[in-house]
Amino acid sequence: MKIMKRISYNVKELSFENANLHRNGETLTIELPYSGAYGMGEKYDRLNQKGKTVINQVTEKFCFQGDKTYCAVPFFWTDTGFGLYVDTCSVTAFQFLDNCIQVTLPETADVVLFSGTPEQIIREYMALFGPAVLPPEWTMGIWISANRWNCQKDVEETLAKLKKYDFPADVMVLEAWSDEATFYIWNGAKYMPVPDGKPLKYEDFDFSGTPWPDPAQMIRQIHDNGLKLLLWQVPVYKKQGDEEIQNVQNDLDRKDAALRKLCVTMPGGTPYTIPKGNWFPESMVPDFTNPQTLQCWFGKRQYLLDIGVDGFKTDGGEFIHSDDSRFYDGTTGKEGVNRYARDYTESYRDFVGSNGVIFSRAGFSGQHTVPCHWAGDQQSQNAELASVLKAGLSAAATGMIFWGFDLAGFAGPLPSLDLYRRATQMACFCPIMQWHSEPDGGQFRELMPGAEGNNERSPWNMAESYSAPGFMEEMRYWHKLHEKLRPYLWKTAQECVRNSKPFMRPLVYEWPNDMNAINCEDAYLLGDDLLVAPLLQENAVSREVYLPEGTWSDFFDGTQYTGGQRIIAGKNGKLPVFARNGFEL
Gap between the Cα atoms of 16 and 114, Å rounded: 9
pLDDT number for residue 444: 65
3-state secondary structure of 465: helix
Whole-prediction pTM value?
Answer: 0.96
- What percentage of the chain exceeds 90 in pLDDT? 90
Mean pLDDT along residues 173-197: 96
- CA–CA separation, 76 vs 41, rounded Å? 9
Q: How confident is the model at residue 242 (pLDDT cuts 50, 70, 90)?
A: confident
Burial class of residue 130, CB neighbours in 10 A (0-12, 13-18, 19+): exposed
CATH number corresponding to 3-127: 2.60.40.1760
The whole-angstrom separation of Cα 498 and Cα 368 is 12
Do 3-127 and 500-579 come out as alike in CATH topology?
yes
Position 348 pLDDT exceeds 60: yes
Tell me what pLDDT residue 246 has.
87
Instruction: State the pairing for strand pair 27-31/100-104.
Output: antiparallel
Q: Residue ranges of the domains in the chain? A: 3-127, 137-258+288-315+340-493, 500-579
Instruction: Please tell me the distance from the alpha carbon of residue 198 to that of residue 471, in angstroms, as a whole number.
Output: 51
Give the separation between CA 549 and CA 563, rounded to whole angstroms. Answer: 4
Nearest Cα to Cα of residue 86 among 46, 128, 116, 120: 128
pLDDT at 221: 98
Which one from 256, 315, 343, 406 is the annotated catalytic residue? 315
338 vs 359: CA distance, rounded Å = 18
The answer on pLDDT for 448 being more than 70 is no
Nearest to 504 by CA among 575, 422, 583, 405: 405
Superfamily of domain 137-258+288-315+340-493: Glycosidases (3.20.20.80)
Biggest CA–CA distance in the chain, Å, is: 71
pLDDT for 9 beyond 80: no
- Going by pLDDT thresholds of 50, 70 and 90, the confidence category of residue 245 is confident
Say whether 324 is catalytic: no
CA-to-CA distance for 297 and 327, rounded, in angstroms? 16
* Catalytic-labelled residue, pool 79, 287, 310, 377: 377
Per-residue pLDDT of 472-515, as tens digits, reads 999 999 999 999 999 999 999 999 999 999 999 999 999 999 99
Q: Is the pLDDT of residue 526 over 50?
A: yes
pLDDT band at 1 (very low <50, low <70, confident <90, very high): very low
Confidence tier at 450 by pLDDT (50, 70, 90): low
Q: Which pLDDT value is given to residue 440?
A: 85
The string over 526-565, giving b where at least 16 C-beta atoms fall within 10 Å of a residue's C-beta and e elsewhere, is bbbbbbbbbbbeeeeebbebbbbeeebbbbbeeeebebee
Q: Is 377 a catalytic residue?
A: yes
Judged against a pLDDT cut of 60, whether residue 212 lies above it is answered with yes
DSSP conformation class of 275: P
**Host H or E run for residue 406:** strand 403-406
Tell me what the mean pLDDT of segment 81-106 comes to.
96
Q: What is the mean pLDDT of residues 238-244?
A: 92
Q: Which of 175, 287, 310, 318 is catalytic?
A: 318
Q: What is the mean pLDDT of the chain?
A: 96
Residue 158 has pLDDT above 50, yes or no: yes
Q: Residue 7 has what pLDDT?
A: 83
Q: Which of 516, 536, 532, 513 is nearest to 524 (CA)?
A: 532
CB atoms within 10 A of CB 132: 26
Q: Which CATH architecture has domain 500-579?
A: Sandwich (2.60)
Q: How confident is residue 471, by pLDDT bands cut at 50, 70 and 90?
A: very high
* More confidently predicted of 571 and 200: 200
Given a cut of 70, is residue 187 above it in pLDDT?
yes
- Which class for 110: exposed (0-12), middle (13-18), buried (19 or more C-beta within 10 A)? middle
Residue 315 a catalytic site member: yes
Render pLDDT for 109-139 as a digit per residue (tens, 0 to 9).
899 999 999 999 999 999 999 999 999 999 9
